[in-house]
Amino acid sequence: MKNILISTGGSGGHVVPAKILCEHLQSNFNVFISTDLRGLKYLDDKKNDVVLINTPKLNFNIFFIFKIFQVIYLAIKAVLLMKKNKISIVFSTGGYMSLPVCLGAKFLGVKIYLLEPNIVLGRTNKLFLRFCNKIFSYTRNLKNFPEKLKNKIQIISPLVKKNLYEKREVKTENKVFCLLVVGGSQGAKIFDDIVKDVIINYSKKNEIKIIQQTNKSNIDNLKNIYDEAEVENIIFDFEENLADFINQSDLCITRAGASTLAELSMMNKPFLTVPLVSAKDNHQFENANFYKNLGCCWIMSQKDFNVINLEKFLDHLIMNKFEYNVKKNNLEKHNFQNSWNDINQKILDTINEN
């Protein structure tokens, strides 16, 4: 079998798609994964051949020249790694973490495939676009994508964990409205501060259940607050089986990371997004807007995300199920032909054709 190296790292938004890609490829290829230190916590090195390539962030400061030399050193390390393991294909999930691996692959003449899970073309992917064989994307209308290179786009359905396809078929009927809050792999403090007040106020009028992601250090504190208010709750930080929580919920409040939105969409779960304003190239807003244009979600800007507006939104939604049901029906229409086997075959066919 041929050997493939998947380059990833950073947040769960990069590592989760890499793990799913590994699942799609490992029956046909020997798969290695390279990551930085931040990405290690999302990977099981007992299940995967994981290699540490800890790429520094290239900020323009007094250490910039030093970091350039670090990248060159890591590119040499990547070259030696690829030669030793006879890597014939490199997959990059984007981000500056993949820079040394892509440079090494270009030097060796190894085939490069890119994955762009966001609606905005990432800067590292843009840098290697002309050298790649194909770029896998969820839409042909990627923002900032050069028109003359659009022939390199290979459309696939969003990459989600295999068990989501099974969980999607399990229908749940909640007696009590259940809200899922997902702040992304890093958590979202704004959700901690605002959502808890809204839920506690709402619980004084109606029963409600909350499943909320927070920073690991805040789990006990947030749980105690809900327990004292007698609100049924599940508090977590990083959950490998997020599908179970999505399945239990009626609605999700979330940032707009590509992986999270793909999972919610696949599970046909309507969601309210609060895009991260500091996201590069405003890509979180564009991710959310993709689903909004399909009639599948709501968007609330971070400046408008406060206790008053969130209370109004939940009151309106819970009392008026018509709008909620429209979103749910649109999600089901969008996803009804999406299957693990179709995505798997498209990825393998693309690799074999190029």
Which structural domains are found in the chain, ordered by start? 3-157+338-353 (3.40.50.2000), 164-335 (3.40.50.2000)
- Give the chain's residues under pLDDT 50: none
In whole angstroms, give the CA distance from residue 70 to residue 188: 31
List own/partner pairs for 54-61 with CB under 8 A and 24 or more apart: 55/9, 55/96, 55/97, 55/98, 55/99, 55/100, 57/96, 58/96, 58/99
Q: What is the pLDDT of residue 44?
A: 73
Q: What is the pLDDT of residue 108?
A: 97
In whole angstroms, give the CA distance from residue 6 to residue 18: 7
Q: What is the pLDDT of residue 354?
A: 67
Q: What is the pLDDT of residue 11?
A: 81
Q: What is the pLDDT of residue 46?
A: 60
In whole angstroms, give the CA distance from residue 224 to residue 23: 38
143 secondary structure, DSSP code: B
Q: What is the pLDDT of residue 249?
A: 94
Give the pTM.
0.88
Q: What is the pLDDT of residue 45?
A: 62
Structure tokens at 77: 């390390």
Nearest CA-CA partner of 125 in 114, 133, 117: 114
